[in-house]
Amino acid sequence: MVKKLEGAGLRGQVAGETSLSSVGQIEGLAYRGHKIETLAEKATFEEVAYLLLYNKLPNTSELKEYKELLKSQRDLPEPLKEVLQKIPASAHPMDVMRTGTSMLGNLEPEGDFSNQLDSINRMIATMPSIVTYWYKYSHDGEDISLVNDEDSMAGHFLHILHGKTPSDLHRKVMDVSLVLYAEHEFNASTFTGRVCASTMSDIHSCVVAAIGSLRGPLHGGANEKAMELIEHWTSREEAKEKILSMLANKEKIMGFGHAVYSIRDPRNAVIKEYAKELSKLHDNDDLYQVAEEVEKVMADEKKMFANADFFHAPAYFYMGIPTKLFTPIFVMSRVSGWTAHCMEQRANNRIIRPSADYIGVESSEWVDLADRD
């Protein structure tokens, strides 16, 4: 018997099983049983990626080897660089990520599934390089080097973006951000990737499909929209006035509420503290003050909480990251979760093919072409 869903967009429906993460259980988030707060405090992104892909935390030698592997694979093939050079500065950066991933799949195809981890780790290593190489080339005319001594993805991204060694705090905050975004159960982009994987497609196609889903403003673009919302306000008073006006006009405030969490997003508390710390070291902390006031008004007026995206906006701003690169950072991190899900889907696969309730006309009469008005 097919269960009918009343316009819920599958929200709240169980669509499969996973051992990768648990979301919303007592408003918590855990990767393979490890609470997100613990991982954000104690783990690096590379440890988290290893945990998701290999189903265990690495020991010292395994982590060293894994970091060296990723570090060795950051540079891009020349044909891929040539493709990125042809993409205009006006392009959406998520389209750049999609095209770059697809081109990488053409140059270095997965072959068969026994090579999946090789392809996955190559994608993890190159995601920061793809978007940053395009950004620097198209916006600044720079053919940047993608090779440096940074041993973390966080440090590598900030280094190639700014052309210099990042501060320890910036490196730490970026690493925490990547940890927070790495995995989140059956969200829209992950489920898209799993649907693609269920057809036994190649891993690059699965990631391209997931990127296309994440591109939508109702999924991955919320941190950019949050930044666009708050960047022009210069005080708590102005923020309060503007948000109250928007609420009165029934305008949507991006970065608040969540499809699964009902009381709080556990990731928000983590990134909010880092955004606050960064603001204290910046020449102007107005953006953080504005964001905090918006959070307060939304809680008071609508009983809505900030999700992980909202305070990522000021955190990224204080690290000098252009707004248009906010969502690609999501990709850099989430590719670890996406691909772990694709591996899990392939290991115990049945094609994902739901049914639909037909709501069209019951019967239509054929009219020959010559007789149609």
Report the sign of the C-alpha dihedral through residues 243, 248, 251, 257, in that order. Answer: positive
Note if 258 is an active site residue: yes
Q: What distance in Å separates the CA atoms of residue 49 and residue 336, rounded to the nearest whole number?
A: 6
Active site residue 168: no
Given a contact cutoff of 8 angstroms between Cβ atoms, the answer to whether 206 and 339 are in contact is yes
Q: Nearest Cα to 226, choosing from 127, 292, 132?
A: 292
DSSP state of 199: T
**Cα(250)–Cα(245) distance, rounded to whole angstroms?**
9
Sheet holding 34-35, edge to edge: 21-23, 29-31, 34-35
Backbone angles phi, psi at 308, to 5 degrees: -60, -25
The two structure tokens encoding residue 1: 């018997």
Active-site option among 92, 162, 219, 282: 219
d(CA 203, CA 110): 7
**298 vs 87: CA distance, rounded Å:** 39
The alpha helices in 303-364, defined as continuous H runs, are 312-318, 326-347
Q: What are phi and psi of 21, to 5 degrees?
A: -155, 155
- Closest by CA to 54, choosing from 124, 132, 107, is 124
Which entry of 258, 265, 286, 312 is annotated as an active-site residue?
A: 258
Residue type, 132: T
Is 139 noted as a catalytic residue in this protein?
Answer: no
Q: Which of 175, 204, 309, 312 is catalytic?
A: 309
Q: Which residues are catalytic?
A: 219, 258, 309
